[in-house]
Amino acid sequence: MTSPLAVGERIIALLDEGLFTATYKYGVLLGLLDLSLERGADVGQGALRVTTAQLAAKVLAAYWPQVRPLPLHEGIIPRQSGRGSRDARIVRLIADYKQRTAKEWASPFEVRLRRHDDYGRLVIEVERVLIEMPLPRLQYVGASSDEFLYQINWTRDVSRTLVARYLRGERTDFDNVITLRPGVASALIQLNGLLRPLIQRSWTLKVAQLNHLDEMVLHDFLFGQERVALARVRAPLAELQEERCFYCGERLDSRFDVDHFVPWARVPNDNLENLVAAHAGCNNAKRDFLPAVRHVSRWRARFDPEARESRELAGIASGRQWPSEPAATLGTARAIYGKLPSSAKLWVLADEFEERGTASLVL
Ligand SMILES: [Zn+2]
């Protein structure tokens, strides 16, 4: 079993390693972090098995908002690989797709809902890149490979024909499983609050360097939440909550916000279950803190199939064509809250906080 500290140190070493000319390693690391959060709570210290297709969906989601013109920069989409080479293939795929359909879909999940075939093809192309490039190369620090994060059953020399046949859905002996070593998923969950900002910052620095841009401007462009898109579910969420603020329970005014219950800074999750209507004041006071246990207990009702909330949420998701992944969202919350020390500060209301304590929390 690997200790969290050891995993953290090795990932920091990876971030410093200059082996990659494109930004793929950041995408892969964030993708593994997301999958550990969604699926890792149940494996404990065990090994977590995920597939290359699952990782591809996460990596696609990370790149998607980044492939758009930079404001005030003559409509240029920031490069994500060195000048000598063509731009990173994942970036080209997304840029081509957006140009071809002339649509600004808010997220790949929206493409999945509205244009299922296109989405499938994009994921397959991202999966091809991951299999051939970063996955078999990522764990090289210096000249030696050390599979400290995950184990896969192919190498850098994998046959492209074999991969192509696998991606066409033919029966092959290509094994698409990525096995996170025992303890790694658990460590990633525990270190999420440290590693995510660190990986995002390294990614930002790399893109700033490649494009001669200011890092401060770029971070929000690459990783900020796009509030505009949330407008589509704003009114139905308020209705679901009977026009009351999710946190303080008082009536909503006209300027209320859509808030990410598990904060966006902890995990970028736009699924409907994770969105609540809240006063702008309550939302601002909450910032990137996790909500207190009392809020979690109320939020939990959204996942109870018998509860009115869960039925109405399902109705909103299909009516507004908004992504909804209850199991993944709940899994993520379970993973994050499960790793909190009893001294962790949770947000109650306004400037009031409380410690996580030892009270049991059903998630
Ligand atoms: Zn409020």
Q: Is residue 238 part of a domain?
A: yes
pLDDT at 227: 61
* 218 and 247 assigned to the same domain: no
In a domain, 309, yes or no: yes
Residues 96 and 175 in one domain: yes
21 pLDDT higher than 80: no
- Evaluate whether residue 362 is within a structural domain: no
Last residue in a domain, options 158, 191, 223 = 223
Q: Are residues 105 and 206 in the same domain?
A: yes
DSSP 160-182: HHHHHHHHTT---S---EEEEPT
Q: Quick: pLDDT tens for 207-260.
A: 999 999 888 889 989 998 766 678 889 999 999 999 999 999 999 999 999 999
Q: Do 239 and 175 fall within a single domain? A: no
Q: Which of 173, 195, 223 is the last residue of a domain?
A: 223
Whether 27 and 110 map to the same domain: the answer is yes
Detail the DSSP E strand segments found in 121-228.
140-141, 144-145, 150-151, 177-180
CA–CA gap between residue 180 and residue 164 (Å, rounded): 24
Q: How far is the CA of 354 from the centre of ligand 1 (A)?
A: 18
Domain that holds residue 308: 229-355
89: its two tokens = 């293939």
Q: How far is the CA of 255 from the centre of ligand 1 (A)?
A: 11
User: Helix, strand, coil: what percent of the chain each, to 5?
Assistant: 50, 10, 40
What is the residue whose two structure tokens read 């200790």? Answer: 3
Task: State in Å: Cα 107 to ligand 1 middle.
Answer: 28
Domain boundary among the residues 223, 256, 275 is at: 223
**Bigger pLDDT: 1 or 273?**
273
- The answer to whether residue 361 is domain-embedded is no
Specify whether 235 is located in the same domain as 132: no
Q: How many residues does the chain have?
A: 363
The answer to whether position 85 is within a domain reads: yes
What domain count does the chain have? 2
For residues 164 and 299, state if they share a domain. no
Q: Are residues 126 and 30 both part of a single domain? A: yes
Euclidean distance between the first and the last CA atom of the chain, given in angstroms as a whole number: 26
* Ligand 1 geometric centre to CA of 333 (Å): 22
In a domain, 363, yes or no: no
Q: Please compute the mean of the pLDDT values over residues 72-80 and round it to a whole number.
A: 84
Residue 217 sits in the same domain as residue 306:
no
Cα 299 to averaged position of ligand 1 atoms, centre (Å): 15
Other Cβ atoms closer than 10 A to 354: 13
275 shares a domain with 150: no
Q: How many A from CA of 185 to the centre of ligand 1?
A: 35
Neighbours of 150 (CB within 10 A): 22
* pLDDT band per the 50, 70, 90 thresholds, residue 197: very high
Q: Which residue would you say has higher pLDDT here, 172 or 360?
A: 172
At 116, the pLDDT band (50, 70, 90 cuts) reads confident
